[in-house]
Amino acid sequence: MLKIQCITIDCHNPIALAQFWAQALGWKVGDGATDTEAYIEKNLSAANVDGYPDLLFIKTPDAKISKNRVHVDLRPANQLEEVRRLEEIGATQIEIGQSDDSDTTWIVMADPEGNEFCVLKALG
């Protein structure tokens, strides 16, 4: 049986991006963050048995040049409040060809390094 240990995100500033995502998700930055690598976890215990993979941020010199092939979808209690909060900590709303329909079920955003993610509407 396999378990996802981490989801790795290439970036230019691992510590800053880890801090953004830790604040966005309410997770914690792990010990030993460096200029080349940082990670966050929901639960920093050694066992890490809660089922959540950590997010690992690895420094790369490569520039992001196209849409991410993998992204996260976030499900908040209140979509618009969460979008505002994420903008306050450094995210931006972006246009990647999504519909102009005002009743869309998601809002596309980018983290401070331009990695896309979606903020979904709350479940009924």
User: pLDDT for 51-97, tens place per residue?
Assistant: 789 999 999 999 888 888 889 999 999 999 999 999 999 999 998 87
pLDDT digits (tens, 9 = 90+) for 17-34: 999 999 999 999 999 999
Domains and CATH numbers, the chain: 1-63 (3.30.720.120), 70-124 (3.10.180.10)
pTM: 0.89
Instruction: Report CA dihedral (81, 121, 95, 59) to the nearest 10 degrees.
Output: 80
Determine the pLDDT at residue 3.
83
pLDDT the model gives residue 99:
64
Confidence at residue 75, expressed as pLDDT on a 0 to 100 scale: 96
